């Protein structure tokens, strides 16, 4: 029997089956932006966490809150994250607790160090507090993050809720950073951030008709005497019974308005607790009062109109010319014996039929 015969009897060696390397990869889909926030108003923002790794993974979510203030002891923003747990995660509460424990721990650690540096024994009560604070600090650190299992190729939709405090000052800002970290590979991580800046809001104050200027003067005096967060007051000539107030603090504005004669409160904000942006007016809705349109706007040559005031009240006519500078229109009366042009103010007519509708 030859050597080749022995080799032929042996079964072929199967190729080694190598397990593919596990790849951990997590990412966050969140719109990064700089957002203006009205004092006292909260907004929701979608956050999507994705696992594009090759295996199921435990993803740890950590949210950092970075403040920027110009004054000491500012009011705190409210930050919550929904969708991580069954209950909404109130991040600000845990951040405050962590900071309180950290501050106390650093103070106690300095006291302990003073004793050890002098070669003196650490008092028993101080040593117990140090050990207790070390455990509390560890628990507080754990409270700053949350974890959940995410299958390979899976995604978890979260909701970030940020509320600007009512007592915020103009320019106060908060940078919220959302971090997603893989448990299997801590180097596999992603983060997104958005900056939220406190800004003033515009509200309407209802007044007695004809007393708009008096209420505005009284409110101006109050705003000048003490800081109630009022930036400007607008009493439009073409709006009776209302004022527009640019304010940083709607609650303090409500309080100031209550004590002014002929003022009947802030529109859209009741006596009870007001949530959201009730009563807040968009700047675009004020364009007509900031830059009033000419009274002849919307009227075109050839339009059929009816005169609603003056000696020709009730007559129908066709528009011949429009003078926007003088806000006048020249019309030709239909039933006049002689077609004589008549010039009237733009608010003395109403359009019955547009010129293009006649074709």
Output the CA angle 303-309-313, nearest 5 degrees: 75
Let me know: does 103 contact 137? Beta carbons within 8 Å: no
Let me know: does 204 contact 267? Beta carbons within 8 Å: yes
Query: In the chain, what is the straight-line distance between the N-terminal and C-terminal CA atoms, in Å?
Result: 111
Name the phi and psi angles at 303, rounded to 5. Answer: -65, 150
Enumerate helices (H) and strands (E) in the chain, giving the number of each. 6, 19
pLDDT tens readout for residues 238-275: 788 999 988 877 777 888 888 898 888 888 654 433 44
- Residue 281: CB atoms within 10 Å: 17
Tell whether the model's pLDDT for residue 349 goes beyond 60.
Answer: yes
How far is C-alpha 93 from the chain's CA centre?
A: 20
Pick one of 3.40.50.620, 3.30.230.10, 3.30.1490.20, 3.30.70.940 as the CATH number of 201-290. Answer: 3.30.70.940
Enumerate the domain spans of the chain: 26-196, 201-290, 304-358
What pLDDT sits at residue 13?
A: 56
Q: How far apart are CA 143 and CA 35, in angstroms?
A: 27
What pLDDT sits at residue 107?
A: 95
- Topology (CATH) of 304-358: SH3 type barrels. (2.30.30)
What pLDDT sits at residue 170?
A: 80
What is the pTM for the complete model shown? Answer: 0.62
Let me know: does 42 contact 164? Beta carbons within 8 Å: yes
- Topology (CATH) of 26-196: Immunoglobulin-like (2.60.40)
Q: For a pLDDT cut of 70, what percent of the chain falls above it?
A: 87
What pLDDT sits at residue 194?
A: 93
Let me know: does 59 contact 23? Beta carbons within 8 Å: no
What pLDDT sits at residue 275?
A: 46
| Nearest residue to 59 (alpha-carbon basis) of 23, 93, 25 | 25
Identical fold between 26-196 and 201-290? no
Q: How far apart are CA 285 and CA 137, in angstroms?
A: 51
pLDDT tens readout for residues 290-318: 766 778 888 899 999 999 988 889 999 99
Tell whether the model's pLDDT for residue 94 goes beyond 70.
Answer: yes
């Amino acid at each position: 029997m030859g050597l080749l015969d022995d080799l032929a009897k042996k079964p072929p060696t199967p190729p080694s089956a190598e397990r593919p390397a596990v790849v951990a990869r997590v990412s966050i889909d969140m719109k990064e932006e700089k957002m203006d926030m009205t004092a006292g108003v909260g907004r929701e923002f979608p956050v999507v966490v994705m696992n594009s790794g090759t295996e199921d993974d435990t993803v740890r979510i950590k949210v950092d809150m970075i403040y920027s203030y110009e004054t000491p002891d500012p009011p705190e923003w409210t930050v919550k994250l929904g969708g991580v747990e069954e209950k909404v995660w109130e991040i600000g509460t845990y951040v405050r607790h962590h900071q309180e424990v950290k501050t106390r721990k650093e103070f106690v650690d300095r006291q302990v160090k003073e004793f050890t540096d002098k070669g003196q024994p650490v008092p028993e009560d101080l040593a117990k507090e140090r050990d207790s604070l070390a455990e509390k600090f560890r628990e507080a650190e754990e409270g700053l993050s949350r974890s959940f299992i995410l299958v390979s190729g899976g995604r978890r939709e979260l909701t970030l809720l940020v509320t600007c405090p009512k007592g915020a000052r103009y320019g106060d800002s908060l940078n919220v950073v959302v971090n997603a970290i893989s448990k299997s590979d801590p180097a596999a991580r992603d983060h997104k951030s958005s900056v939220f800046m406190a800004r003033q809001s515009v509200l309407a104050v209802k007044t007695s008709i004809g007393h708009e200027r008096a209420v505005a003067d009284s409110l101006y005096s109050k705003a000048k005497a003490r800081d109630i967060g009022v930036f400007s007051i607008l009493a439009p000539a073409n709006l009776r019974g209302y004022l527009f107030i640019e304010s940083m603090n709607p609650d303090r504005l409500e309080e100031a308005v209550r004590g002014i004669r002929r003022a009947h409160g802030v529109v859209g904000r009741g006596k009870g607790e007001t949530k959201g942006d009730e009563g807040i007016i968009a700047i675009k809705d004020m364009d007509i009062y900031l830059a009033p349109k000419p009274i002849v706007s919307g009227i075109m040559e050839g339009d059929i109109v009816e005169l609603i005031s003056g000696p020709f009240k009730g007559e129908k006519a066709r528009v011949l010319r429009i003078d926007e500078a003088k806000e006048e229109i020249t019309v030709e009366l239909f039933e006049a014996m002689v077609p004589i042009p008549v010039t009237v103010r733009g608010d003395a007519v109403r359009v019955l039929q547009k010129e293009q509708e006649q074709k």
